[in-house]
Structure 1
Amino acid sequence: MIVSFLSSCGNLKKATETDKFDYTVEKFADLQILRYKVHGFDELPLKQKELIYYLSQAALEGRDILFDQNGKYNVIIRRLLEAAYTNYSGDKKDTNYVNMETYLKRVWFSNGIHHHYGYEKFVPGFTPEFFKGVIEKIDPSKLPLEKGQTVAQLCDEIFPVIFDPKVMPKRVNQADGEDLILTSASNYYEGVTQAEAEDFYNKLKDPKDTTPISYGLNSRLVKENGKVFEKVWKVGGLYSPALEKIVYWLKKAESVTENDTQKAVISKLIEYYNTGDLKKFDEYCIQWVKDLNSHVDFVNGFTENYGDPLGMKASWESLVNFKDVEATKRTETISANAQWFEDHSPVDKKFKKEEVKGVSAKVITAAILAGDLYPATAIGINLPNANWIRTQHGSKSVTIGNLTDAYNKAAHGNGFFEEFAYSKAEIEMNDKYADITNDLHTDLHECLGHGSGKLLPGTDPNALKAYDSTIEEARADLFGLYYLPDQKMVDLGIIPSADAFKAEYYSFMMNGLMTQLVRIQPGNNVEEAHMRNRQLIARWVLEKGAPEKVVELVKKDGETFVRINDYQKLRNLFGQLLAEIQRIKSEGDYAAARNLVEAYAVKVDPELHKEILSRYEKLNLAPYKGFLNPVYDVTTDKGGKITDVKVSYNEGYAEQMLRYGREYSSLPNRNE
């Protein structure tokens, strides 16, 4: 599970006068590109630098996999656009060219032709006639043509996907009552309906199995000649060319591991990639949870299921990182007290874990982002996702310190919070406490929230179907919100004041009720799981607290603001909702999950939305942000042995994306 970062949340740390690092790169459409600094890399021992380099290469080799998972035409469209962009010889001030360049940059950012957060297909600002004219002037050898295919045939096939708004309009459709597979453009299913997919996996599951594999996690489900079966993502199977290169670099990393436990983790991951066996994946996850002493760590694989409308199949992602020792003292304090937090949770005792096992947490420095964590990324991660592994073996939680640092410094002084906060009191509270309370909420969300509670015996982990991601994120967010004001946080010495929690409470409610709407196009519903989670929580407590005016939407000078009148009663409402969300999760109550999400998380007030967009537009900000990766250059001796690894930050956005397209693009145009 992941925590996403909302640049609109207003929790901004103050940039230091001495930090001259340039965090901002460029802005286009609704996106801003940032850099992050890999603090402390130069001081690492050579062996750890070498390990990070190899793991980074393994990470970058998976790029094409995500493009293909997000849509069956994404790889070929990206290559066609890159050919047009790099071989264009006309007027670069032409509106069509400028809009084609912006479109390509959006495709790079979203790893496909659909918005990375809203899931809707991009509307091209250039004409088919212009694009075809550009393509026809390019040497055919530089175009992604299939054997025997003409340029005209390529255009006939691809142009409707790009230009026709009715073709593949949404990458992930969550609309209640529709066939979520047939109406989603993501490439996890081919030729099957939602009913056929659910029936296929229901027949495989054994309700008595207490250690079930994550069915469907690493495969495409297809129907050919009337037969439904899986095409597994593995070496020798689907995505083999990319996975072979990932394995190559993992083997390099295996040769320079810090200890035997870390070596066993990489070895098991290689075994899983070679076989596609999900039992091997579980064994890898268990080994990974046990690796607590390594300074360098990583995620590499088919991990999160947000991109699958049924919440089963996982997108490919990777993160390479190393421990921030000083900042980790905070998260270690939280994880060391995990049992206390579980015992004092407001949920029913029968849904609590009697014994919390293996909860570990740390603050990390990201060294490379890849797949579904690049360019847009999470600020916190808790893995593995399998409930039984969490229960029996524990989980690892991370807060990505250098990314939140980059977000905060790039956003310093942008005027956002000042525009939407109710009064000077909220602004001062935000300035004083938001840096620590935002980090603590992330820590509690990842370290304890996702790891809390348990499923009742016999509950299907996929019982909540399309609503599972929203419910799970709400559960983790509510856990963090409930405990932020607790005296235990003060007693542990990890929050500076008993009133500090109010900064996060206000920011969260302002975001969930109003400001995250800057990410929604007029007329659209809320689609993304994290956004649905936040609106669900905020709208529910607004309604339930209305009789006592716990939280209100009020008008001031004709504009709407959030006003919190009773922070303690708000905490009680968070606790009540947490108890119900945990019950839904533990019992697999699909009907209750559906009712909650559809009632509170999906619909948008059009008048409020219009107002928020108008106020936001005046600030000239981008609602979405993502990162460029640093570049790692190796120095070798005459024998080819690595003698040093240097990190640099000078590569531009288009420069990096085009280089990745040249160096890390091993899959064919079509992956069938």
Structure 2
Amino acid sequence: MFPSEISHTPLPGATIHQLKIKPVFDALVKREKFYAHYLARAAWHGSRIVMRQVSPESPDIFDFIMDLYHACDGKWDILVAQCNITSEELTSFLDYAAMFLCNLGNFYGEGDQKFVPDVTAEALRKIADISTKTKASLDKIIDPLLAVPPFSLGYPSKNALSGYYPGIEPITQDEIARVSEVMNKTSIGPENTRVRKVVKDGKPILQLLQASAETGPLKAGHDELADGMFLVRGDHSDELARVCSALQKAKDYAGNDKQTQFLTHYVEFFRTGSLKAFQESQKAWVTDISARVENILGFIEPYRDPAGIRSEWEAMIGIADADEIKKLKIFVDSSTSFIRQLPWAVKGVNDGKGTFEKSLFEAPDFTSVHVLALCGSIYEYIREACGFKNIVLANRLSLKSFKSTTHIVRFLTTAIHELIGHGTGKLLSETSPGTYNFDKQNPPTSPLSGEVVTSHYLHGQTWGSVFGKLAGTVEECRAILMSEYFMDNKDLLDIQVFLR
């Protein structure tokens, strides 16, 4: 089926769920409540970043929906009479608004296909007549809101767009690749960047937009990266300034030195754009074990960038549930025995785990949290050197629409996905010049070919830099397969009985 033949309107009758959070929030002490509150504020201050990364019109569509809400004081039904629309038209618009707010943009978070409201332009204009402000808001976005194509996110073309490559000047994949080459040479990480092409004095200019609250070059004359290519700091500056302000307030309620450390590094990262500061934050974050209030903040996953290297703003603030954590501990305690059952494990080698696993599997801090705020991986070498965390979002898994058995299966598959799927494996690497994390003179044998391996990660290379846009996809497939591989495992089923 061609994209033009596919319906681009959301399915009618969207079900809206309210995640339960009050009981676990009320159980926090006063300091923890303030800490959680300001972290949640920081998370949501980044919501416009997500929208801007999705499409140019998404922030303005959000404003239109909010302006309508305020114009009718949340009493949507009055729009039927006051705007002379049908109840069906109102319902269709609200289905669209709910889908937009769920995805923080007008493209689905899964599949990246565009969706449009199942109402006419005339009906939208009638709805917007509720106030002067909503009329002005709609005028800004009605054309891109209804336009199909673009059909999906992707490299900018007639049929696709990408918020990571904004602007009216078309940019080519070769130009994007050229920017990446220069970034590698100048040691600028891609995660918190976008690329924009402009024309000045008839000459094409490539601008590398780096997310930071600060604007302007760090040093005078240091903004030119190459001929016709410039670093422009201050992308998402307004939002990140508010993020930094909220995090500074959260620091006043930090419960230990580790929390103070990673919050300090967070602020430096969002203020300056320095990915080194973010990496330092993660080193402190992974050592904040069994945190009562947990967080994920930053430019994390690169799934929606067609080049596979630029990351979306992602923020989650959750509150740990002590009873559920006790249940998860059995997974952590059993993790090594599961690793010994993987297909590449070799009895008698590396404690039965084989050469493709770390000598010591350090079980992560495995936490079940109830989501307080959710808007929208940590670096592999940090996982290798400092450990990692796995987080299960319990109140998203326990919606009433899940039957009791379905919830157990999802809970278990998610736990295995995170603990074993993302937690196992070792990247054969040159960790520093001339130093390797495997026996270079006697390299291990590949379980696929039966031959000794002939390649490894060079110093400075990472999983993401080598595999590019395929890295995230392969990693998720690997983790999913782990869950499927273990789902008929007797030991796992014994744990399932325990969790009942």
Would the TM-score normalized by the shorter structure come out above 0.5? Answer: yes
**Change in 2 beyond 3 A, CA 1:356/1:477:** farther
SS in 2 for 1:31: coil
SS in 2 for 1:495: helix
> Which residue of 1 is the match for residue 322 of structure 2?
325
Q: Which amino acid aligns with 2:370?
A: A
d(CA) in 2 for partners of 1:464, 1:122: 30
Counterpart contact for 1:34–1:410, Cα < 8 Å: no
Match of 1:199 among 178, 182, 185: 178
Q: Which amino acid aligns with 1:342?
A: I
**Change in 2 beyond 3 A, CA 1:475/1:294:** same
**Change in 2 beyond 3 A, CA 1:182/1:310:** farther
> Which residue of 1 is the match for residue 252 of structure 2?
255
Counterpart contact for 1:300–1:318, Cα < 8 Å: yes
1:29, CA displacement in angstroms? 2.3
**Change in 2 beyond 3 A, CA 1:290/1:160:** same
> Which residue of 2 is the match for residue 439 of structure 1?
411
Residues 346-385 of structure 1: CA deviation (Å, up to 9, x unaligned): 137787223345431433232422321xxxxxxxxxx41x
1:328, CA displacement in angstroms? 1.5
Counterpart contact for 1:128–1:159, Cα < 8 Å: yes
1:496, CA displacement in angstroms? 2.7
Q: Which amino acid aligns with 2:479?
A: A
Residues 532-555 of structure 1: CA deviation (Å, up to 9, x unaligned): xxxxxxxxxxxxxxxxxxxxxxxx
**Change in 2 beyond 3 A, CA 1:98/1:64:** same
Alignment of 1:368 with 2:352, yes or no, is no
**Change in 2 beyond 3 A, CA 1:95/1:496:** closer
Counterpart contact for 1:353–1:452, Cα < 8 Å: yes
> Which residue of 1 is the match for residue 463 of structure 2?
461
Q: Which amino acid aligns with 1:457?
A: Y
> Which residue of 2 is the match for residue 572 of structure 1?
none
Counterpart contact for 2:14–2:95, Cα < 8 Å: no
Q: Following superposition of structure 1 onto structure 2, how do residues 155-170 of structure 1 map, counting pairs within 5 Å?
A: 155=139, 158-166=141-149, 168-170=150-152
Q: Following superposition of structure 1 onto structure 2, how do residues 2-401 of structure 1 map, counting pairs within 5 Å?
A: 29=12, 31-38=14-21, 39-84=23-68, 86=71, 88=79, 89-93=82-86, 95-135=88-128, 138-140=131-133, 155=139, 158-166=141-149, 168-170=150-152, 172-173=153-154, 179=155, 183-190=159-166, 191-205=170-184, 215-225=189-199, 226-236=204-214, 237-347=234-344, 352-356=356-360, 358-372=362-376, 383-384=377-378, 386-401=379-394
1:269, CA displacement in angstroms? 0.6
Q: Identity rate of aligned residues, in percent?
A: 23
Unaligned runs of 5+ in 2: 1-9, 73-78, 215-233, 347-353, 428-455
Residues 103-135 of structure 1: CA deviation (Å, up to 9, x unaligned): 333222221222332322223322223334554
Counterpart contact for 1:233–1:239, Cα < 8 Å: yes
d(CA) in 1 for partners of 2:385, 2:316: 25
1:293, CA displacement in angstroms? 4.1
Q: Which amino acid aligns with 2:401?
A: A
Q: Which amino acid aligns with 1:461?
A: W
Residues 468-527 of structure 1: CA deviation (Å, up to 9, x unaligned): 33322110011222234334446xx62339xx9xxxxxxxxxxxxxxxxxxxxxxxxxxx
SS in 1 for 2:497: coil
The CA RMSD over aligned residues, in Å, is 3.1
Counterpart contact for 2:36–2:293, Cα < 8 Å: yes
Unaligned runs of 5+ in 1: 1-26, 146-153, 174-178, 373-382, 413-430, 501-672
Counterpart contact for 1:259–1:294, Cα < 8 Å: no
Counterpart contact for 1:70–1:187, Cα < 8 Å: yes
d(CA) in 1 for partners of 2:388, 2:159: 34
d(CA) in 2 for partners of 1:82, 1:295: 33
**Change in 2 beyond 3 A, CA 1:286/1:358:** farther
Q: Which amino acid aligns with 1:485?
A: D
d(CA) in 1 for partners of 2:101, 2:490: 46
Counterpart contact for 1:364–1:400, Cα < 8 Å: yes
SS in 2 for 1:114: coil
d(CA) in 2 for partners of 1:105, 1:435: 25
d(CA) in 2 for partners of 1:357, 1:232: 36
> Which residue of 1 is the match for residue 497 of structure 2?
496
1:404, CA displacement in angstroms? 1.4
d(CA) in 1 for partners of 2:467, 2:159: 19
d(CA) in 2 for partners of 1:100, 1:186: 25
Counterpart contact for 1:305–1:314, Cα < 8 Å: yes
d(CA) in 2 for partners of 1:370, 1:346: 36
d(CA) in 1 for partners of 2:28, 2:332: 26
Q: Which amino acid aligns with 1:282?
A: Q
1:299, CA displacement in angstroms? 1.3
Counterpart contact for 2:358–2:425, Cα < 8 Å: no
Counterpart contact for 1:342–1:352, Cα < 8 Å: no
Residues 595-623 of structure 1: CA deviation (Å, up to 9, x unaligned): xxxxxxxxxxxxxxxxxxxxxxxxxxxxx
d(CA) in 2 for partners of 1:323, 1:65: 27
**Change in 2 beyond 3 A, CA 1:296/1:96:** closer
d(CA) in 1 for partners of 2:407, 2:67: 44
Q: Which amino acid aligns with 1:234?
A: S
d(CA) in 2 for partners of 1:482, 1:300: 31
Counterpart contact for 1:180–1:309, Cα < 8 Å: no
SS in 2 for 1:410: coil
Q: Which fold has the larger relative contact order, with Cα–Cα distance below 8 Å and residues 6 or more apart in sequence? A: 1
d(CA) in 2 for partners of 1:307, 1:82: 25
d(CA) in 2 for partners of 1:230, 1:304: 19
SS in 2 for 1:188: coil
Q: Which amino acid aligns with 2:210?
A: V
Q: Which amino acid aligns with 1:201?
A: S
Counterpart contact for 1:103–1:124, Cα < 8 Å: yes
**Change in 2 beyond 3 A, CA 1:137/1:35:** closer
> Which residue of 1 is the match for residue 484 of structure 2?
481
Q: Following superposition of structure 1 onto structure 2, how do residues 421-436 of structure 1 map, counting pairs within 5 Å?
A: 434-436=406-408
d(CA) in 1 for partners of 2:306, 2:157: 7
d(CA) in 2 for partners of 1:229, 1:355: 44
Counterpart contact for 1:95–1:126, Cα < 8 Å: no
SS in 2 for 1:51: helix
Residues 554-595 of structure 1: CA deviation (Å, up to 9, x unaligned): xxxxxxxxxxxxxxxxxxxxxxxxxxxxxxxxxxxxxxxxxx
Counterpart contact for 1:100–1:124, Cα < 8 Å: yes
d(CA) in 1 for partners of 2:251, 2:83: 49
d(CA) in 1 for partners of 2:393, 2:90: 37
Q: Which amino acid aligns with 1:322?
A: I
Counterpart contact for 1:387–1:461, Cα < 8 Å: yes
d(CA) in 1 for partners of 2:157, 2:385: 33
d(CA) in 1 for partners of 2:61, 2:406: 42
d(CA) in 1 for partners of 2:355, 2:165: 34
1:286, CA displacement in angstroms? 1.1
Q: Which moved more, 1:124-133 or 1:43-52?
A: 124-133
Residues 412-444 of structure 1: CA deviation (Å, up to 9, x unaligned): 4xxxxxxxxxxxxxxxxxx7x654343222111
Counterpart contact for 2:307–2:469, Cα < 8 Å: yes
d(CA) in 2 for partners of 1:136, 1:46: 45
d(CA) in 2 for partners of 1:75, 1:461: 33
Q: Following superposition of structure 1 onto structure 2, how do residues 591-630 of structure 1 map, counting pairs within 5 Å?
A: none
1:53, CA displacement in angstroms? 1.5
